[in-house]
Amino acid sequence: MSEERLTAHDRAKVLDELRRLRQKLPMIDLPERVLKGYLDPPSEPESCIFAQTTQCISSDFTTPISPCQFGGNPVCTECGCFASAGLAAFGRYKLGGMVQIGSLFSASKKLGERFAGEMA
């Protein structure tokens, strides 16, 4: 593990500290749902809403960065990306307490890819 990555224990400590700061400093808008997204990030770019909805390129404006903004072979289970955590939390939210938004996103993406293939 590199120095830039938090261990599971350190990640839990950071999230506890963020919870404490959130109570102390009301300007911090950090819902519990997002904090839980950090504890249980998507396991792979294919299940990460953020990775699937963004197209990243390098500073030369031509070289694609994939499979997500971190490129290469990301360790998704240790992801610290706020957008990934937030969208993971959003994707787990159930509309009407029944249908996960992430399921709707996946269905919409598949449908879009199917129609895009037919139009090509």
* Residue with token string 């998704």: 76
More confident residue, 102 or 7: 102
Distance CA 62, CA 86 (A): 28
**Closest by Cα among 59, 61, 43 to 102:** 43
How confident is the model over 58-70, as a mean pLDDT? 91
Task: Report whether 104 contacts 112 (CB < 8 A).
Answer: no
Other C-beta atoms lying within 10 Å of the C-beta of residue 47 = 15
Start-to-end CA span in the chain (Å): 43
Residue percentage of the chain with pLDDT more than 90? 35
* Per-residue pLDDT, 19: 93
- Please say if the pLDDT value at position 1 is more than 70: no
Rounded to the nearest integer, the mean pLDDT of the chain is: 87
As separate numbers, helices (DSSP H) first and strands (DSSP E) second, the chain gives 5, 4
Check pLDDT > 80 for residue 62. Answer: yes
> Residue 74: CB partners within 8 Å, gap ≥ 6?
45, 67, 68
Res 21 pLDDT > 90: yes
Q: What is the mean pLDDT of residues 25-40?
A: 86
Q: What is the pTM of this model?
A: 0.76
| Domain locations in the chain as residue ranges | 8-119
Retrieve residue 113's tokens: 């890819």
Mean pLDDT for the stretch of residues 69-75: 86
